[in-house]
Each structure stands twice: as C-alpha cells, then as structure tokens.
A and B are shown apart, each in its own frame.
Chain A
C-alpha cells in the first residue's frame, strides 16, 4: 500500500474513533445545562445529584475527545500537506476560528465546571456549564462548516492554479453547511438522549437508584421525543441537498444507475450493487419511492450514476448500505418514541419492562448511526477531497509510506488501549452509581433548601 491509501485509512480510523466522543459531549453538555437550570429553579436536590453524577461521565468522555481531536488537526499537515496547502486560504481560518472561539471556551470553563464548586457562586458555575456547552456547539459549527466546504466548495476563485478566497460568508455558509450542521447537532442530541435513556433503563430494570434514574429517563425521553421526528425531517432535507449539489453521491447512496427519463425512480429497500456490471442484483424496489423522497413528486427525475464517468463514482456498496442502516436506525428510534408515547398515555412508561429492555438494546445504535452517517458523507465525496476541485490522490503529503505504517500501528495500539480503558472506567463510574449522600457545597446551598426525602435515597425500592 502507498502513503495515500495508508493516510486515508489512518485519517478515517482516527476520525471514526474521535467522532464517538464529541457526539456525546455536545449532547451531554446541553443536558447538564438543563439539569443545572432545573436545580437552580426548583432547588430540588435530586437535580444537583444528577449533575454531579453525569458530569463525571462527561469529564472522562471529554478528555478522550480532546486528545483524539488534536490528532486530526495534526493529520491535515502530516498526511495531507498538498491538500492543506491548496485550500489553506479558505479552509485554514475555519480551523483557527474553531480554536479561538470554541476550544478555549470549553477548556477554560471546564476547570470551573469540574473543580469550582467550592470556589464560585452558583450562578457563575451555571454560566460556566453554559459556556462549555456553547463551546462544544461552536466547535461543531466550525468543523462542520469546514467539512461541508469540502463537500460543496463555495466562495473561492481560481487564479494561477491556486485557490483564493472571494467571500468567507459564502465559504462558511456553503450549500451543504446548514443541513450538515443541523443533521449533526440533532444526531448528537438524539444519540445522547438514547444513551442516557438506555443506561437509566438498565438500572431501572435492576431496581437500583430508582428515583434517580426515573428522573434521568424522563428528561432523556423528553429530549428524544422532540429529536426523533426532527432528525427524520432534517435527514430528508440533507438528502435533497445532496441530490442537488452532489448528485453522484446521492445516486451511489441509492444504487441508482439509470436516470429515470420516463416514470418515477424506485426506492431500493434491498440490493447488492455491482460496480463492474453497473447494475444491482436481488433488488427489492418500491416503485416511485426515490422520486417521492428526493423531489417530493410522483415522477421526479433523479440523476443516475451512469451520467458520471466510472472514475468519478464513489464506492457504491458501502454507501448504499451505510446510508440504509443509518436511516433505518432513525426510523427505529421514531418507532420507539411512538411506543413511549402510547405507554405514557396509559401511564405505564416506567413500568413496562419490555419497553425498558428495548431502550437498553437500542442504546448504542445512535453512535452506530452517527458513524455510518459520516461514512456515507465522506466516502460519498470520493474520489474528491474538495468536491470537483481536488482529487484525493492529489492531496497526500510527500512522505514515505513507512512513516504512515509506523503511525498507523501506534494509533491502533494507543486508541485501542485508550478506548478499552475508557470503557472500563465508564462502566466503573456507572456501577458505583450516583452519590446521594454528600452534602451540597456551602457556596452552592440555597437558604431553606430541604434535605433529601428518605424515599429518594438508597438503592432498594
């Protein structure tokens, strides 16, 4: 293998590892803002306990996110120097702004959020939580803008073979950016909601810390019930944007070979795409489905893959299936929330063991869907690094393959070790359970606050 292929594998693996962490950090930060706000408003000590418990999960998660994220910023230069130099005028300021406006905010106030309980008034602590959440969201804004620019480059001009900036607002708010950002933020919130719901359901099934986890589950389901349908709507918007600006990607996602000149394009529920033969085997088609999805009309035209030369097509089988599994998870989540709504009407939301078990089972699927979404968008961009401007093969650094073999092996070993340790300590924090006993720090106590009710303590209910 050459430096290019190895660099792509390394960047793909390090990104896939990294994205697991911000996905939950963004959602959990907002969850913590809500919990702290509820505590300040109601004075109900349970919310304080919830904050102190989930912030431990947040801190471990955040740490791994930070160290794996630094890797990516370095890899633009170490592995994709030619790409980086070609697009620097437009692309690099977005990374610089991410550092200035997002990372400093997160890192600066995380210290107060974790260690400041005895040192700052509660309003300052609450503001710190808000600023950490704002930092996490802003970071998503800049990095998604940069990635969306690679999908649909805008705001540039070409002179003497170099890319020059024409308009930063056009470059940042490029065509793919709004749907990209909305889809990713919603994915973070939805994944977090289902992760929290799954953990809570697990402990409710075990009968541990019942009142604590009921409260968490209730909040998580409230988040999920808004996000599950919203995400499907946003996904639809994203799909239509891709059809307009990256038609080859969309055609590959749908394994749609021939443009439908007469009649509607079918949606394939199942197929085994064959790149060489330029057709699919074992198709299970829903007539007019694709036209309806993309154009919202019965017979709308959807561009087929054969309109593009073979060397400009992304790898169809992976795209077809990663997209389907991701979208399937989205609909599964919607189904779970419909079930939740029905149980809620029957006032059996926390009693139905089948429902709690289902929540435990679907818990990791949000992470899977996020990963597959990124696989779809990034592999669908191929063979381009900046769509239509720079091919991936033109972007790699002038380095020997041996360098990348060395770093790839170390990344595998170290991320494996860090990932395994992370899982171990996360499990440990969860098993140890929330602390329902320690006194609230004196700076944080509100006068007249009631001590915890006996029924809220303890593990056996």
Chain B
C-alpha cells in the first residue's frame, strides 16, 4: 500500500458515492413521466430537490480529484471521450435548471420534458463513458491518439442501456422510501421491473466483458484475484434476493440498500479487474499519477474536509427525513 494505491481507492470511493447518490436522483428524473399529474410530479421532484445539487457535486469533486491525483487519466479520458462527456454535461445542464425553471413556470410541460431528457441523456452518456473506458483507449506518449468516434460501438451502448436500468432501480427504490400512496405503489412496480432488467444486464455484461476484453478474464481467473473475485457475484446474488423479497414484503428502506449492494458488487468486480491499470490496456496507475507532493497535499484536504462534508451531508438527509411534505416547497 502506498500513496498511489490509496488515491486509487479514494477516487474509486468518490466515483461510487457519486454513482449511488446522483444515480437515484437521475433515476427519479427518468421515472418522472410516470407521474400522472403535476401534484405527483411535484412530489417526485420534491423528494430530490433539497439534495440533488450536493449529490451532483460528487462528480465535480471527482473530476477535480482525478485531475489532481491522476492527471493522465483525466486528460486522456476527457480528450478521448469528448463527445460522451460533453453530452453528459448537456444532460446535467437541463436536469439542473429544470428544478427552478419548472417551479417558476405556469405551463410545466416543457420543463418536465427537459428534466426527463436531461436525466436520460446524462445517464446514457455516463454509461457510454464507462463502456468506452472498459474497452480501452489508445494512448501514445501520455496523450490520447485515437479517433473522435472510437467510443461508438455496441459494448458502450449496451453499458449505457444497463446504466439506465440501474439508475431507474435506484430511483424507484428511493421513491419507495420518500413517498406514499399512488406514487409509492408505482415505485414498487418499477423497482421490481427494473430489478429484473438489471439482473439481465448483469448476466449480459458478465458474458460480454470477457469476450470484449479477454485479458480481464485472464486476470480474474488467476492468482491473487481468483481467491476473492467469486465474492462479487455472490454479493450481487445476495443483493437481488434481498431486493426481491423486501419488495414483495413491501419493505420501504431495505430495497434501496439492496440496490446499493448490487451496484457495489458490480463496481468492485470491475475495479478489481482494472487495477493496477489506470487506462486499459497499458497505462498503469503509477504512470498516470501526479507528483507525490501533489497527491499528499490534496490528501490532507480529503482527510480533514471530506469527513466534515459527509457529516453535514448526513445531517441534511436527516433534516429532510421522512416522506415528502408538500409544504416544504418555497415558491
């Protein structure tokens, strides 16, 4: 264990925090059209209105942390995936302004659409990014040396669709916690459906990834990984069992955390295969790392600031605990 490994873990932690937290926000956005009237849509939006901005900030910080700790990953990834990443930004732009613009408008239809499409586009573009990253990126002398559309292939598109299903699962199980009545009833149904879809995609990814990137299979199947990688599919199976039983028993809290467990299992499975690469197939994390002093300086911030951030984030969730109250709007 050294500084570079520690940072690899930290960046991974920030990314998974983002995926779970903004994942459910984006998921609620993609479920938005299922609300039958503006009152229902107000409730759905109200469930994430006080927290979405803080959730999104994890990717802003993640970008900064990646830039500081592994500048080569940041610069190569961002030039190689120019189009998916800026598409992601365009999605976030419409998702972000929709909250305030919708609240102030008398005819809400266009901002309802902007909100839905913003969330959908942002999620799909994230999936494309992940898929293209797993597929490997051409690098020469520390810079991206591929073409503008290298990311456009079936595997990233499949990952994009998988992520849409995954975020809908997070979003619907979150709505189960935060809402009641008809909205909650429907959230239970969508949680079940998206749960099965995610299960299907995970099987598909597990078959397709080794075909797409054979050397990942070699890594998984050899020491030392072979001793622990079997944990991740097991975790996923446990997550799905927990999800479906708790949904059947109409539990409110459990399904969400079961979904988080499913995400964790998939994420850790991938991370364990990529390490010690920074960029597949041949840039390692030590090559991509910044100067040790830079990593250390930024680490002090993480050690002292991030626990405080987590504390007040938890406080904020505690303040807004319980079902959405219509009276909480401020407009």
Assess whether A67 is interfacial by the CB under 8 Å rule.
yes
Contact of B291 with A71 in the complex, beta carbons under 8 Å = no
Assess whether B227 is interfacial by the CB under 8 Å rule.
no
- How many positions in chain A have a CB within 8 Å of any CB in the partner chain? 68
Closest to B80 in A: A399
What is the predominant secondary structure among interface residues of chain B facing chain A?
helix
Contact of A406 with B83 in the complex, beta carbons under 8 Å = yes
Contact of B320 with A111 in the complex, beta carbons under 8 Å = yes
Interface stretch of the complex, out of B28-36, B67-75, B157-165, B204-212: B67-75
Contact of A100 with B301 in the complex, beta carbons under 8 Å = yes
Mask, B294-324, CB within 8 Å of A = 1, is 1001100110011001001100100110000
Contact of A111 with B105 in the complex, beta carbons under 8 Å = no
Contacts of A425 in B (CB 8 A): 100-101, 104-105
Assess whether A60 is interfacial by the CB under 8 Å rule.
yes
- How many positions in chain B have a CB within 8 Å of any CB in the partner chain? 67
Contact of B82 with A403 in the complex, beta carbons under 8 Å = yes
Report the Cα distance A96→B92, complex, angstroms: 20
CB-CB under 8 A for A403 and B83, given A73-B63, A111-B320, A414-B90 = yes
Contacts of B65 in A (CB 8 A): 96, 99
Closest to A429 in B: B104
Report the Cα distance A98→B34, complex, angstroms: 37
Contacts of B67 in A (CB 8 A): 76-77, 84, 88, 92, 95-96
| B78 partner, pick from A60, A74, A115, beta carbons under 8 A | A74
Contact of B57 with A99 in the complex, beta carbons under 8 Å = yes
Report the Cα distance A250→B147, complex, angstroms: 42
Contacts of A109 in B (CB 8 A): 312, 316
Contact of A103 with B291 in the complex, beta carbons under 8 Å = no
B:46-61 near A, CB below 8 Å: 49-51, 53-54, 56-57, 59-61
Contact of B68 with A92 in the complex, beta carbons under 8 Å = yes
Contacts of A117 in B (CB 8 A): 330
Assess whether A397 is interfacial by the CB under 8 Å rule.
yes
Assess whether B85 is interfacial by the CB under 8 Å rule.
yes
Contact of B148 with A399 in the complex, beta carbons under 8 Å = yes
Which A-B residue pairs are the 10 nearest by beta carbons? A77-B78, A88-B71, A111-B50, A99-B61, A96-B64, A81-B75, A67-B96, A92-B68, A107-B53, A92-B67
A99-B65, A103-B61, A104-B313 given; 18 more Cβ-contact pairs under 8 Å: A67-B97, A70-B56, A70-B89, A73-B64, A76-B67, A82-B75, A84-B75, A90-B294, A97-B64, A98-B64, A99-B60, A99-B63, A101-B305, A104-B309, A108-B312, A111-B50, A115-B330, A119-B319
